[in-house]
Amino acid sequence: MAKEIKGIIPPIITPMKEDETINLEELRNQIERQIEGGVHALFAFGTNGEGYILSEQEKYEVLEAMVDQVKGRVPVYAGSGCISTKDTIRVSKEAERLGADILSIITPSFAVASQKELYDHYTEVAKHVNIPIVLYNIPARTGNKLLPETVQKLAKDVDLIMGAKDSSGDWDNLQAYIRLTKELDKDFRVLSGNDSLILKSLQAGGAGGIAGCANVYPKVLSSIYELFQAGKLEEAQKAQDSIASFRAVFKYGNPNTVVKKAVKLLGYPVGDCRRPFNYLSDEGMEELKKVLEENKAAGMQ
């Protein structure tokens, strides 16, 4: 429980070779790049890390390498959520054994779940681990929305549930997560999963963000949090606004694909996203190259 949930936490990309096997050497390089960029934690096999398409064994290999490379310098989060409660328990226990500091557990997906089923799922998983759990809401991808009232109840009833990440993109929902959990006698942390809402959420009482764009611009994203903490709100707003042009490229394809191609264009051998999720149109690639050049000229890192 000593690891604090706060700051900018990149869901680090999973570098891959031409044959789509994992490039652990480059993963270690990206970890160093992120830590040098000032990030406050690292998140293994999140959405930008392609956790949805990695095998269970691959996830363990990634986490083992990450824990070894980080060596306690920042907390390590592991995305251990699966569709079934049974599988989530198994993966969560193994992630804890391998040295994860915090678990990020996405809602079950595909089948529609009631709020009671989601509540029961998380409470049962928490009985089998001993490290903090961050709830993960991304209904556009899973089909299941974790309502603010359910988050509040889980935070109140389960000691290990210490935070929630909201990637709904719905400001009212994120704000409700913050407001309802602030009413509790508990240090519960809410993280923005939408990079454009990081500063806004900090101003409302949030704790930071799990920021996919940090894979491309670790220093810029980290500075949003640091500048806010230092009371430099105007500079923090400039840093927040500076990622808008990059995020605008997401209209051309899957954000995960855009982020990974951007890191590749920066000169790192991270490969493409695993097929079939690796296509970006010629128009999208040209716009991405243009934005990267403009941001490089502006000194963004």
pLDDT at 3: 79
**b/e burial code for range 161-188 (CB count within 10 A of at least 16 → b):** bbbbbbbbebbebbbbbbebbeeeeeeb
Q: What is the pLDDT of residue 1?
A: 43
The reported pLDDT for the residue numbered 2 is 52
Torsion of CA 76, 259, 249, 298, to 10 degrees: 80
pLDDT at 144: 97
Q: How many CB atoms lie within 10 A of CB 89?
A: 19
Which residues are part of the catalytic machinery? 136, 165
The C-alpha atoms of residue 241 and residue 223 are separated, in whole angstroms, by 12
What is the CATH code for 7-230? 3.20.20.70
Residues of the chain with pLDDT under 50: 1
With contact defined as beta carbons under 8 Å apart, do 288 and 280 qualify?
yes
Q: pLDDT tens for residues 124-183?
A: 999 999 999 999 999 999 999 999 999 999 999 999 999 999 999 999 999 999 999 999
For the entire predicted model, the pTM comes to 0.96
> How are strands ordered across the β-sheet holding 133-137?
7-9, 208-210, 189-192, 161-166, 133-137, 102-106, 76-79, 42-44
In 10 A of CB 29, how many CB atoms? Answer: 16
At 19 the pLDDT is 97
Question: What residue ranges do the domains of the chain occupy?
Answer: 7-230
| Paired tokens of 298 | 């502006």
Q: Two tokens at 33?
A: 């790049």
What does the alpha-carbon distance between residue 199 and residue 236 come to, in Å, rounded to a whole number? 7
Could you tell me which of 36, 25, 26, 30 has the C-alpha nearest to residue 11?
Answer: 30
